[in-house]
Amino acid sequence: MYSIGQLSKRTGVKVPTIRYYEQTGLLAAADRTEGNQRRYDAEGLERLSFIRHARTLGFSIEEISALIELQNHPDRSCREANQIANEQLAAVRNKIKQLKALERELARITKGCSGEGETQDCYVLASLADHRLCKSDH
C-alpha cells in the first residue's frame, strides 16, 4: 500500500493532480486508513502510471477515460483504442505542421532584422504590427 505522497514520488504525478484524477473517476477512490489517509494498492499505482504516460503522449482526459474503459474490458476489440491513438497521432502531426510553418515565418522575420538601428525601423516589430508583411498564414 502506498500513501498519496509515495504514489506521487513513484509516478512523478503531483498530489493535487492525483486528487483530481480521483475526483474525475480516472483513478479509483483510494481506501482510507482510520486516520482518513489515502492508501493505494499496486493497481492504483499501475493505473496512475498509465494515466501519466497517456498524458505525456497528449491524450485528453476524455480520451484516457475511454481508453481505461476499454482496458477494463479485455475481451473487447482493440479497434477503438487504435482509433483513439490514430486520432491523437493525426493531431500531433497537424501540430508539427503548424509549428514548422511558424518556425519558417519566425526565421524569415528575424532574418529581416539585423538587430542594429532603432526600434522605429525594426522589421520584427513591423511584422508583428502588420500581419500583411507575413509570407504565410500561421
Q: Which residue has the cell 490514430?
A: 86
**DSSP E strand stretches across 27-84:** 31-32, 38-39
pLDDT, tens digit only, all 138 positions of the chain: 889 999 999 999 999 999 999 999 999 888 888 888 889 999 999 999 999 999 999 999 999 999 999 999 999 999 999 999 999 999 999 999 999 999 998 998 888 887 787 888 788 888 888 877 777 777
Domain boundary among 48, 76, 104: 76
pTM here is 0.78
What does the pLDDT read at residue 103? 93
Taking the alpha carbons of 110, 112, 115, 119 in that order, is the dihedral positive or negative? Answer: negative
Domain carrying residue 84: 80-133
Tell me, yes or no, whether 91 and 116 share the same domain. Answer: yes
CA distance 20 to 13: 11
What's 68's domain CATH number?
Answer: 1.10.1660.10
Tell me how many domains the chain contains: 2
Longest dimension (CA), the chain: 70
What does the pLDDT read at residue 70? 94
Provide long-range contacts, Cβ within 8 A and 24+ apart, for 58-62: 58/88, 58/91, 58/92, 59/84, 59/88, 61/24, 61/26
Tell me, yes or no, whether 68 and 91 share the same domain. Answer: no
What does the pLDDT read at residue 93? 97
